[in-house]
Amino acid sequence: MNFQTIELDTWYRKSYFDHYMKDAKCSFSITANVKVTNLLALLKKKKIKLYPAFIYIVSRVIHSRPEFRTTFDDKGRLGYWEQMHPCYAIFHQDDQTFSALWTEYSDDFSQFYHQYLLDAERFGDKRGLWAKPDIPPNTFSVSSIPWVSFTNFNLNLDNSEHLLPIITNGKYFSEGRETFLPVSLQVHHAVCDGYHAGAFMNELARLAADCKEWLV
């Protein structure tokens, strides 16, 4: 759980950070349709649901660039976590509420999926916002809105210091022979630009297309 501090005065993003944290406070969101044809076919063959696989590939992308892990620590220092764990929403059908679980990240999908199943079994029926206790500080947020194939999704955060990405997927849909999953990414402009948002979506699409590399 190592946190690498950033020396703001010498940081290459200092002018951008200062501008978007002080003069023009803003986050932005982007939504893209990620092709999941290959991924869904392989998941069906292996009898694995899409959601844990989606959480895993999002976690892989989060670890691909430090910009996606840049935040403030509990002492208010700017920096980035060397490793982060997904904190994700699960839905309770009986009362239409949700709870948040978190699962320790592993590069190895089988290990991550095993831990995901253990967490779901142990905490999945618990109610309240935070179903699994002891949430570590190095987590990021993932959720799903599987009832609608949205074309845009945005969270109106009243917190200019929330720097970490927030990722949400929707209901997948078919166009011809291909299947697509709408994915929304929300980032803070102080640490991420349009280039980084594009890199996030492109890497997510690559991992979905090349799922045989990790889904073994």
pLDDT per residue as tens digits for the range 105-116: 999 999 999 999
Q: 89 lies in a domain?
A: yes
| Count of domains forming the chain | 1
Prediction pTM value:
0.96
Q: Is 209 exposed, middle or buried (0-12, 13-18, 19+ CB in 10 A)?
A: middle
d(CA 114, CA 124): 14
In this prediction, residue 1 carries a pLDDT of 67
Helix (H, G, I), strand (E, B) or coil at 167: strand
Q: For the domain that residue 101 is a member of, what is the CATH number?
A: 3.30.559.10
Active-site residues: which are they? 189
Q: 108 lies in a domain?
A: yes
118-169, pLDDT tens digit by residue? 999 999 999 999 999 999 999 999 999 999 999 999 998 876 789 999 999 9
Q: Could you list the residue range(s) of the whole structural domain that residue 136 is in? A: 29-190+197-213
Q: 51 lies in a domain?
A: yes
Closest CA to 68 of 208, 188, 216, 150: 188
* H/E run at residue 159: none
Helix (H, G, I), strand (E, B) or coil at 85: strand
Helix (H, G, I), strand (E, B) or coil at 99: strand
Q: 46 lies in a domain?
A: yes
Q: 78 lies in a domain?
A: yes
Q: 157 lies in a domain?
A: yes
Q: 4 lies in a domain?
A: no
